[in-house]
Amino acid sequence: MPKRKKIIVITGGAGFLGSHLCDRFVEEGLKVLCVDNLITGNLRNIKHLSKEKAFEFIKHDVSKELHIKGPVNYVLHFASPASPVDYLKHPIPTLKVGSLGAHNTLGLAKLKKARYLIASTSEVYGDPEVHPQKETYWGHVNPVGPRGCYDEAKRFAEAITMAYHRYHKIDTRILRIFNTYGPRMRIQDGRVVPNFIYQALHNKSLTVYGNGRQTRSFCYYSDLVDGIFRLLHSKIHSPVNVGNPDEFTILEFAKLVIKASGSKSKIVYKPLPTDDPRQRKPDITLAKKYLKWKPKVKLQQGLQETIHWFKENLID
């Protein structure tokens, strides 16, 4: 009798990161149930998986109760608008998917006795007063500012995950994702990587907010997916940063994009958005120690591959 495939539920599975996770777990031999309401996800991202017997798409808003027939081994909750443009456009769905969505997916994990992983974010640190950011830092967040709908949704998601772990003994993992980029990002999603690439490929001026000295670190999607895989199979229940600690100013990054794309674009400056973080750099000591993980793809290499993808797929 053939051995039954393990089954993994991935919410937000038609999104940028979620779709790459679907790829990875199909390759690992699991049956993947991809759940997405397509508010920011897109079926194009998973079209290549549609003929796979080990893949199933379920259109559903996980802010409403999620019913899955049969056994489930893993639940990964990645559903959420993830860029300022998206969560400012959809503030209430963002809050709901981080709270009700987390509650519903944790309930599914409890019912199925499945291992659970929540996708949190470096935004739980807000505009940090500690640099680089360690998991022990509690953050500097404005709960009533325009970004609060995303920041506080993720902070709540972490809190309810730990409550289910402590009270219901659910086997949980908390992933804090730092800036990630790569193929399948939406060109108009408002984040700095697709913004700059879109502007550069059209020889438009690259828009830098503030003086451009604010910093970010950029992790290529394949490195992040590997970190997620390792975290899921670890024994760590407390939050773990996964991201690239190589730090660049936004101005440095803009110049890299112009050079890598061969663009003739100039740089223009606009006022800094409210509560925009001045610094963002992960301390990945825990990931190195317990996951044996660190990023491998250098920014210049990842940028070339991402720019090439956008040239081939210059669609929203």
pLDDT digits (tens, 9 = 90+) for 167-182: 999 999 999 999 999 9
CA–CA gap between residue 115 and residue 17 (Å, rounded): 19
Both tokens of 231, joined, read: 């975290």
Q: How far apart are CA 261 and CA 254, in angstroms?
A: 11
Does residue 251 sit within a domain?
no
Residue 150 appears among annotated catalytic residues = yes
Predicted confidence at residue 2, as pLDDT, reads 62
Measured between alpha carbons, how far is 4 from 169 in angstroms, rounded to an integer?
25
The reported pLDDT for the residue numbered 56 is 98
pLDDT digit string, tens, across residues 112-168 = 999 999 999 999 998 889 999 999 999 999 999 989 999 999 999 999 999 999 999
On whether residue 84 sits in a domain, the answer given is yes
Q: For residue 123, what is the domain's CATH number?
A: 3.40.50.720
Q: Are 161 and 102 in contact (CB under 8 A)?
A: yes
- Tell me whether the omega of the peptide bond preceding residue 93 falls within 30 degrees of 0, making it cis: no
Q: Tell me if 136 is assigned to some domain.
A: yes
Average pLDDT rounded to a whole number, residues 301-306: 96
Classify residue 59: in a domain, yes or no. yes
pLDDT digits (tens, 9 = 90+) for 32-64: 999 999 999 999 999 999 999 999 999 999 999
Residue 72 lies in a domain: yes
pLDDT for 85 equals 87
Q: Is residue 189 part of a domain?
A: no
Range of the domain at 100: 7-182+219-245+283-296
Whether 276 maps to a domain, the answer reads no
Query: Distance from first CA to last CA of the chain, Å, rounded?
Result: 46
**Structure confidence by residue, pLDDT tens digits, 67-79:** 999 999 999 999 9
Kindly state whether residue 224 falls inside one of the protein's structural domains.
Answer: yes
Amino acid at 92: I
Residue 12, token pair as written in the block: 């937000």
Catalytic residue among 150, 164, 198, 220: 150
The whole model's pTM is what? 0.94
Coil, strand, or helix at residue 221? helix
Give the chain's domain count. 1
Q: What is the CA radius of gyration of the chain?
A: 19
pLDDT in tens, 180-228: 999 999 887 878 899 999 999 999 999 998 888 888 899 999 999 999 9
Dihedral, CA of residue 29, residue 110, residue 223 and residue 310, to nearest 10: 80
